[in-house]
Amino acid sequence: MKINDRIHGEIEITEPIIIDLINSFAVQRLKEINQAGYEPNVDNNFNQINRFEHSVGCYFLLKKVGAPLEEQVAGLIHDVSHSAFSHCADYILDDGSQTKHSHQDNVFEECVIKSGIPCILSKYNFDIDYILDEKNFPLQETTLPDICADRIDYSLRTLIFKKEITQRGAQEILNCLKIINNNWVFVNYESAYNFTKLFLKANEVYYSGFDSAVMFNTVGEVMKYAIQKKYITEKDLYSTDKNVLDKVRKKLKVDKKLETLCKRMDRLTLSVNDPNNYEYNVFCKSRAIDPFCENKEKIIRVSDIDGKYKNDLPKHLKPKEYFLRYIE
């Protein structure tokens, strides 16, 4: 199997269990789930980064650094529980969290067990309980502000897509990373510092910025209203972006409120952030990293050298708050 990847170029996959998992419905569905959530005026969101390419990217990154096959499997399937519009679910469903974006994690085990993945794992004598426990895979998933395959991959994809870096630039960043004691470590402070600053920009502009707040809020309001009116069900959210949008848009001509909400979602309405006059108080999860690097024969963090960044890190990790109002 060969896949053309945004970061790595052509990837050749030969491991049977990885091929079977990639071909499974649970993983293939991710091709129609936008990683960012929702991009207006893009047919089916296909021109954007999707959860499938990110999942394959995590798998391949783990393979490149020699992670165990079990960890490669965990990297490949880690996003199968994402609903349509990714983290927008945290603004739609009651068990979501605007500040933590935790819905996907909350339903991960249930989604995997109900999928065809357990049969594939059993076929190759993999222990599903072991695969489902992310604590077994520190290279794939760690807590902020550490870096991991998941965080490295999604940030590089965003940075390439937004033209902050080139594909070659992304590969140069990866070439500056090594694994020491199950930690991702940059080979020097300069490369660690540069990636930290790039990640910070991605967070402030693309992950937790004003546009993201508007996107999360408007998609959330559209979908909550559509569920309330029974145009869609919560189960529909576990199909694809296109399937949900098609069902919602069929009702536009007969529902003026839905039409208003969708115009907001499609950014056809002016939105402002005004704490003195607002309709919605919205939070965005904020992400910041503090990676390890080699420096003078020691392994330290970026913040051990950059004192200002160390002081600012708690602020960067604090959820961003917005006060949204729409001018029709």
Give the span between the Cα atoms of 192 and 307, in whole angstroms.
15
Fold for the domain defined by 2-209+286-323: Hypothetical protein af1432 (1.10.3210)
First to last CA, the chain: 50
Tokens of 180: 């020491």
Phi, psi of 78, rounded to the nearest 5 degrees: -65, -20
**Cβ(64)–Cβ(139) below 8 Å:** no
pLDDT at site 46: 42
Give the span between the Cα atoms of 229 and 233, in whole angstroms.
9
Give the span between the Cα atoms of 256 and 172, in whole angstroms.
51
**Cβ(79)–Cβ(55) below 8 Å:** yes
CA distances from 280 to 41, 59, 68, 220, 224 (A): 24, 38, 46, 11, 14
pLDDT at site 112: 98
**Cβ(132)–Cβ(122) below 8 Å:** no
Q: In a structure prediction context, what are the per-residue pLDDT tens digits for the chain, which is 328 residues long? A: 999 999 999 999 999 999 999 999 999 999 999 999 998 865 544 458 999 999 999 999 999 999 999 999 999 999 999 999 999 999 999 989 999 999 999 999 999 999 999 999 999 999 999 999 999 999 999 999 999 999 999 999 999 999 999 999 999 999 999 999 999 999 999 999 999 999 999 999 999 999 999 999 999 999 999 999 999 999 999 999 999 999 999 999 999 999 999 999 999 999 999 999 999 999 999 999 999 999 999 999 999 999 999 999 999 999 999 999 999 9
The number of CA neighbours under 13 Å toward the Cβ of 204 is 10
Tokens of 133: 């426990």
pTM of this prediction exceeds 0.85: yes
